[in-house]
Amino acid sequence: TVILLSPRSENILFGMGNPLLDISAVVDKDFLDKYGLKPNDQILAEDKHKALFDEIVKKNKVEYHAGGSTQNSVKIAQWMIQKPHKVATFFGCIGKDHFGEILKKKAAEAHVDAHYYEQNEEPTGTCAACITGDNRSLVANLAAANCYKKEKHLDLDSNWELVEKAKVYYIAGFFLTVSPESILKVAKHASDNNKVFCMNLSAPFISQFFKEPLMKVMPYVDILFGNETEAATFAKEQGFETDDITEIAKKTQNLPKENKKRQRVVVFTQGKDDTVATVGEKVTMFPVLDIDQNDIVDTNGAGDAFVGGFLSELVQERSLEECIRAGHYAANVIIRRVGCTFPEKPDFH
């Protein structure tokens, strides 16, 4: 019998980002107002949020989950694929502390091949997930995650070999605030070797305040993810002069691109509304799975789960339609649970 290299081989998917411990609690509007938070947003913590972290851990139903956008996505991809273990590699920076140990333990339990850069200048990063109804306001205190260093970790031969083993790369836009030079090194490697590099707009503030590093990486992006709010902000910042999401997808697809062998694919999710994706020269709408409002526990991690499901089919070289269907399935599972958590096995066919 001939054993072909399975598209499900170890380390075929590479992710790099901010490993954070999610501290999740249901809060009220007064809590949001007190810290000047929008009900549905993602921001970086400022000094005025320091007390928020002390206050949220005192809430009666606080939950701790391994988080960080990219890490969530590669974990979901691994969960969707199941076997072999260590399909996904993850790089990021943590502290030498209790929260760091939790993240290591959780990554191992999820069978993700995590290689953290560990330092003791800063503690492991945290993300406060303030839940109200089916909204979540995320406040990230990057701390250690912000200390990732290309020359101290990515450039080491033993680590770079893992990058070279991969065929699909995924980095959330959030990492642009930490190490754009690391992203560029990985993106160029993917482009030069005709591999697939994926990125996410991640949050409105990335398109607004990290426009320069974002647009430096854009020519290497084969697949770009985002949600409707991020797409609108990106369009505004780029001067697209349209708020039609199909137009925005088209214009984003047509931005300059290095590797001409792959046409860029743009995928915008819109919560319960259809997902918009560029398919060749046209833009297609893909309806999400129906869900009863009462079954939605919290939407934290829905976007990450969509990407994870998508990547799980992408590494197996399935069609865009299949990738999106898997993304919708994974997101549908995650919103029925607290945080970005999942049952033992997927039920996706």
Mean pLDDT of 85-108: 95
Mean pLDDT of 65-76: 93
CATH number assigned to the domain covering 13-20+67-123+142-335? 3.40.1190.20
The percentage of the chain sitting over the pLDDT mark of 90, rounded to a whole number, equals: 80
Alpha-carbon span 83 to 80, nearest angstrom = 9
Q: Is the pTM of this model over 0.85?
A: yes
Q: Among 125-139, 173-187, 228-242, where is mean pLDDT lowest?
A: 125-139
Mean pLDDT of 119-147: 93
Q: Among candidates 246, 248, 224, 223, which has minimal Cα distance to 235?
A: 248
Which pLDDT value is given to residue 261?
96
Write down the catalytic residue from 22, 113, 298, 304: 304
State pLDDT tens for residues 22-54: 898 999 999 999 999 999 888 999 999 989 998
Active site residue 304: yes
Q: Per-residue confidence at 231, pLDDT binned at 50, 70, 90? A: very high
Mean pLDDT of 73-93: 95
Q: What token pair was written down for 126? A: 């945290």
Higher pLDDT, 5 or 248: 248
Which pLDDT value is given to residue 6?
61
Tell me the average pLDDT of the chain.
93
